[in-house]
Amino acid sequence: MLKRLRVCCFMALCALILFVNMPLGVHAEETVVYTNETTGYQVLIDERAGLFKDGELREIAEVMKELTQYGNVALLTIAVDSGYGDTHRFSENYLINQWGTSNSCMFTIDMDERWLNIETRGNLKKNLNNAKCNTITDNVYKMASKGNYYSCAVMAFTQMADVIKGERIAQPMKYTCNALLALVLALIIMYLYVNFVSRAHKTADKDLLMACEKHLNLYDVRGEFAYRSKKYCPRSSGGGGGGRSGGGSFGGGSHGGHGF
């Protein structure tokens, strides 16, 4: 009897310890951990993959609270072999089921698809558009690939809040892509220019003739009778007696040359 009593006390003590160390209001199920009394917007955490250590979810929730000034905010993790399929579609449907079309945003860590996703609804999508969402996930994916999911989530929600407030965030991937694109474009332009300059142009016939050296040499020149011509000159209308005039000429050959 005493032995059973000891076992029961030990089990009760273990349960009490687990309850005390468990993050208050946050567990591996869909849980609303905070509601903004002014706006009515909520912080929701659905931790299905068990990625976070004790106390980390509480700190992430504190970062998420800032977003409740503008809309509802959620964190969703998906476990391996969940079979939910496309992360974007699942996250979109999840967000609609929670808050419909009201202002809301969600960061998803999908361990099954190995994919990070940010989903937005309502007015929040004006600032958190596709380009900004892609930039934020670009900025945090290296942390997730190293298993640092806590820092990944904290930075994601921090940058989401910065974007909504109109602040600028780092965009290293965008700058890198723009630099590479500029380099490729410069190489293409240089190639086209060199190809245009170096290609052979057809020379005009006039240019060829002008560039030729001209000579005219005559050898053994002889004169030969070519033809005889006659010219008739009528009498002048105001003149007196007439007479016959005529003559002939010997046509000569042509000659020419250029001294040198």
Phi, psi dihedrals of residue 78, rounded to the nearest 5°:
-120, 130
21 versus 31: the higher-pLDDT residue is 31
Residue 147: inside a domain: yes
- How many structural domains is the chain composed of? 1
Which of 104, 246, 240 has the alpha carbon at shortest distance from 164? 104
What would you report as the CA-atom Rg of the chain, rounded to the nearest whole angstrom?
Answer: 48
Phi, psi dihedrals of residue 115, rounded to the nearest 5°:
-140, 140
The Cα–Cα gap between 32 and 64 comes to 12
| Residue 52, SS3 per DSSP | coil
Residue 184: inside a domain: no
Average pLDDT over residues 152-156: 97
What confidence score (pLDDT) does residue 7 get? Answer: 52
Which residues constitute the domain of residue 122?
17-173
Residue 74: inside a domain: yes
Which of 65, 71, 76, 61 has the alpha carbon at shortest distance from 124? 71
Residue 208: inside a domain: no
Residue 229: inside a domain: no
For 93, the token pair is 């449907």
Which of 162, 190, 128, 157 has the alpha carbon at shortest distance from 56? 157
What is the pLDDT of the chain when averaged over all its residues? 78
Residue 108: inside a domain: yes
**Per-position DSSP letters for 123-150, written without gaps between them:** THHHHS-HHHHHHHHHHHHHHHHTT-HH
Residue 234: inside a domain: no
Which of 111, 112, 164 has the alpha carbon at shortest distance from 133? 164
**Per-position DSSP letters for 80-114, written without gaps between them:** TT-----HHHHHHHHHHHHHTTSSEEEEEEETTTT
Residue 228: inside a domain: no
Nearest-5° Cα angle at 45, 44 to 48: 145
Residues above pLDDT 70, as percent of the chain: 67
The Cα–Cα gap between 75 and 81 comes to 19
CA dihedral 53, 56, 60, 62 (to 10 degrees): 150
Nearest-5° Cα angle at 146, 144 to 147: 65
The Cα–Cα gap between 255 and 198 comes to 46
| Residue 259 confidence (pLDDT) above 70 | no
CATH number, domain containing residue 87:
3.10.310.50
* pTM for the whole structure: 0.60
Residues above pLDDT 90, as percent of the chain: 50
pLDDT in tens, 190-231: 777 777 777 766 667 777 667 777 666 767 767 677 767 776
The Cα–Cα gap between 71 and 186 comes to 45
For 129, the token pair is 């558009």
What confidence score (pLDDT) does residue 116 get? Answer: 97
19 versus 2: the higher-pLDDT residue is 2
